[in-house]
Structure 1
Amino acid sequence: MEIINMKTIAYQTIKSIADIKLVTTSYPDTFTVYPVAIYSTQHKSHFRDSDMNELLTKWTITIDLFLDQGSLTGITNQLIAKFSAMGFSNDVGDENLSGISRVFIKFTGIVDNAMNRVYEK
């Protein structure tokens, strides 16, 4: 059984937010466009059957949003709505970095690789 690739789905979901100008997995040396979304994914086996098929996988998707002026609330709410609709729970925090706003969102969920569903932890 193949594990559902949430990295690809996360990228597509973030990219679907029209206001985000750059989606990447690595921090740029300099920020030249805003808003920027930098994301990472982690996964580990949550449950395997007797044939060692990974039926459930725990996924963590972390998104850092950066904006040089204005508010990230609209983008944050759109991302939360999209990932929550999939079944992920979230933790959100923010900080101001010398005039640049940063919001970090951590989505977690258990992905059922057989049923294509997400369950909160």
Structure 2
Amino acid sequence: MTEQQTGHASAPGYHRLCRADEVREGQPLEATVEGLPPLAVYKVGDAYFVTDNLCTHGASLLTEGWQDGTVIECAFHGGSFDIRTGEPVGHPCTVPLRTYEARVEEDWIVISAPAAPNGSPQ
């Protein structure tokens, strides 16, 4: 897990999640940002993806599941999602995950996501 850290030039709504070299392909990493739900960071080749970390079906942490390329499978009931789009690709999941645009900035994984005061993304 990581602490909230502001993004490049302290731009509002940008958050550093973790160093890029902390994320291993096929091994999602949990990250936290104050005001956002728990996040999962994934690596596929040279690309990074970020989604909410809770399965929309059973509220289980996706970082405890299995990543196969661009698909994450929940350890609770075996439902799965495409980490690029958040779309469910395996039952029993039917509700998409929220995804966040991720990029590497100065060796950090950074997302843009303004947080609402109650902790829900805007």
**TM-score normalised by L of structure 1:** 0.31
Larger helix share, 1 or 2: 1
More strand by share: 1
Computing the radius of gyration from Cα coordinates, the structure with the larger value is 1
Taking structure 2 as the reference length, the TM-score comes to 0.31
